[in-house]
Amino acid sequence: MRNQRTSDLFTLNLGLALGSLGLLTAVASCAHDAAASGQSLPPAAAANQPQAAAAATPPGTNTKVLLCDGQTEVTVPAGTSGTSVAGALMTEWVRKNPNANWEVDERERHTLQPSADNSALVGQVQGQTYGRVTPQDVTLWKTEVERVATAGSAVFHNADELGSTVAVSCDMCHPHAANTHPETYPKFQAQLGRVVLLRDMINWCIEHPVRGKALSSDDPKLRSLEAYILAQRKGKTLDYGRH
């Protein structure tokens, strides 16, 4: 897939991450450094570490890491910190795309976007499902949906939670879930060679830049990641298939 066009999912996200050295530093600080050479991975990461990746990266050897554009690749020594891996990937991408526009104004805050305000529904009858809506109903809806999205934020910003074997987390390329464009799915993705859903692209990124193990469709981590990414794009118009 490396000779295919880069999708819009990647066109902007590294621009956000590399808008300035200060941004790179801030983004990188969200991730855990990889263990020093010879130090074992944390249990959570070790449990999710693909066997093939473990066999391919013994101490003293090199590891190839592919960015989410499906084209940019770097080779780093085993034990390289996640911050250094992300920096090397970004530097290589900038080298190959010197005329990219960084659209810094589209950066999104790390703070979770609030869910919809349903208070206007209090007192109304919602058919057979809810009966008459109460303030407690509205509070429950908001609390529960934001809890799931917040859990997704915790996974998104944590390499160990993602099961990364190179200490890379999602926010290193997508600060605050910026420019993930969930509103454009389903769409054809060149990296996968087919029409995919948002969760398919999340798993592709977990397997490649993050170098972790794909999550099953009912995994709470995958569900919460979807919730967080969608929450951060609140207000965007649905436009499936858009590139």
This prediction has a pTM of 0.61
**Which residues sit opposite 66 in a β-bridge?**
73
- Cα Dmax for the chain: 67
Examine residue 62 and state whether it is found in any structural domain, yes or no.
yes
Q: In angstroms, rounded to a whole number, what is the distance separating the alpha carbons of residues 20 and 134?
A: 48
For residue 21, count CB atoms less than 10 angstroms from its CB and return exposed for 0-12, middle for 13-18, buried for 19 or more. Answer: exposed
Examine residue 41 and state whether it is found in any structural domain, yes or no.
yes
Kindly report the number of other CB atoms within 10 A of residue 75's CB atom: 10
Write down the pLDDT at residue 110: 55
Q: In angstroms, rounded to a whole number, what is the distance separating the alpha carbons of residues 212 and 232?
A: 23
Examine residue 184 and state whether it is found in any structural domain, yes or no.
yes
Write down the pLDDT at residue 141: 92
Q: Is the pLDDT of residue 231 over 60?
A: yes
Q: Which residue has the tokens 């709470």?
A: 220
Which pLDDT band holds residue 59 (cuts at 50, 70, 90)?
low
Kindly report the number of other CB atoms within 10 A of residue 79's CB atom: 19
For residue 92, count CB atoms less than 10 angstroms from its CB and return exposed for 0-12, middle for 13-18, buried for 19 or more. Answer: middle
Tell me which of 37-51, 118-132, 134-148, 229-243 is least confident.
37-51
Q: In angstroms, rounded to a whole number, what is the distance separating the alpha carbons of residues 74 and 72?
A: 7
For residue 95, the enclosing domain spans 8-108+150-232
Provide the domain count of the chain. Answer: 1
Tokens of 30: 């969200």
Examine residue 35 and state whether it is found in any structural domain, yes or no.
yes
Q: Find, among 27, 5, 18, the residue nearest to 177 by Cα.
A: 27
Examine residue 162 and state whether it is found in any structural domain, yes or no.
yes
Examine residue 72 and state whether it is found in any structural domain, yes or no.
yes
pLDDT digits (tens, 9 = 90+) for 153-207: 989 999 999 999 999 999 998 988 888 999 999 999 998 999 999 999 999 999 9
Examine residue 163 and state whether it is found in any structural domain, yes or no.
yes
Examine residue 86 and state whether it is found in any structural domain, yes or no.
yes
* 111 CA to centre of own chain: 15
